[in-house]
Amino acid sequence: MEFRDLKRQYLYLKEDMDLKIHEVIGQTNFIQGKQVAELEKQLANYIGTKHCVACANGTDALQLALMTWNIGQGDAVFVPDFTFFSSGEVVSAVNAVPVFVDVEPDTCNIDCDSLEILVQKVIREGRLKPKVIVSVDLFGQPADYRKLKKIAEKYHMYILEDAAQGFGGKIGERKACSFGDISTTSFFPAKPLGCYGDGGAVFTDNDEWAELICSYRVHGKGSSKYDNVRIGMNSRLDTLQAAVLLAKFPVFIEKELERMQGISAQYTEQLKDVVTTPFIKDGFYSSWAQYTIQVSDKTARDGLQAYLKEQGIPSVVYYQKPMHRQLAFEGNKYDDHDYPATNKLSEIVLSLPFHPYMKEEEITLVANAVKAYLRG
């Protein structure tokens, strides 16, 4: 069994996928070909933002946003403590300071009460200026933007929505990638909408920022790539990846998203009496980047993972280590007591095999193995 079966998906898409890939090779327009512009148009249209700027990966997408806002030395950027490394890495990469914030124990998304306490602490200490909240839509569920917007407005901060896992999610009818002042996503192969390599995108309604992001994406270009008006980076999405995404996108919105709702419901039905199943807030819709259960303690979690492995069932711990304990951030001072939820989650979570091409008997096989182990 595969954790995320991309081969099965390819077999389903093969005809159109091969056609679209060969079209690019035939046209040899490997960089900034017309497929890139077409993809940007389709994605902006789907999300409902004015602009979509494709780029090389989800990490660059976040960094491009911070560069656009001129975030740097002396700035505080608030980031959930329970996320993939990138969400905080980009903050240090532009010389600002990541201030990690504990998460809600049920949704695993940023906790707004802890956030406000830390913002006030930063203001009181007076060393850093609060500038940005990086809100991560973890495991596919959007963060709580109604609460986040109140805090952002009160303290004059921007929201940078990291929807690397959130693409396809919604709150009511409003889609993930539209909640931030700038929002970003990743097309890493295992993400909800993945390409066949690295890829990412930035979304915004702001014309001026969109123009800056386009410039930073290609060496800080002015009127052309040989007229350079600022220090930027090389972060284009290549045409082959855009073609792959053009083949996948219609199937993702017409079929895969709905299938994932069904698969998650089946898992939950079978597992709800033995583990803590994922909690989705009322009115929220997850894109199911992961199906992550919580068990009683670390011993049970590690034992379960080893047992599943013996049965040929892959599983992954997202995430083993809270951000504030990462060696890379040891130059900043964090108080381990500020992160009770994250510290606990890192010991008890386990993500199970999950993808839109999973068969009913596979779901049952995994669920039965989980039950067999935990019920002894």
Ligand X SMILES: *Cc1c(COP(=O)(O)O)cnc(C)c1O
Could you list the residues that contact ligand X (CB under 6 A)? 57-59, 83-84, 86-87, 136, 162, 164-165, 186, 188, 198, 200
Question: Minimum distance between the CB of residue 199 and ligand X, rounded to whole angstroms?
Answer: 7
Nearest to 225 by CA among 2, 26, 31, 13: 31
| Token pair 């709702």: residue | 261
Of the pair 58, 278, the CB lying nearest ligand X is at 58
In angstroms, give the least distance from the CB of 74 to ligand X.
24
For residue 122, the minimal CB distance to ligand X (Å) is: 23
Which of 252, 373 has the CB closer to ligand X?
Answer: 252
Q: How far is the CB of 200 from ligand X (least distance, A)?
A: 5
Is the CB of 143 or the CB of 271 nearer to ligand X? Answer: 143
Let me know: does 140 contact 285? Beta carbons within 8 Å. Answer: no
CB-nearer residue toward ligand X: 181 or 374: 181
Q: Which of 49, 76, 58 is nearest to 176 (CA)?
A: 49
Q: Least Å distance between CB 295 and ligand X?
A: 22
From 354, 168, 357, select the one nearest 271 (Cα to Cα): 354
CB 115 within 8 A of CB 144: no
For ligand X, which residue has the nearest CB?
58
Residue 205: count other Cβ atoms within 10 Å of its Cβ.
15
Q: Give the residue with the Cβ less far from ligand X, 83 or 351.
A: 83
Q: Which residue lies nearer to ligand X by CB, 148 or 304?
A: 148
- Considering the complex, what minimum distance in angstroms separates the CB of residue 4 from ligand X? 13
Cα–Cα distance list, 68 to 11, 54, 133, 177 (Å): 40, 15, 15, 17
Q: Which is nearer to ligand X, 198 or 338 (CB)?
A: 198
Q: How far is the CB of 167 from ligand X (least distance, A)?
A: 11
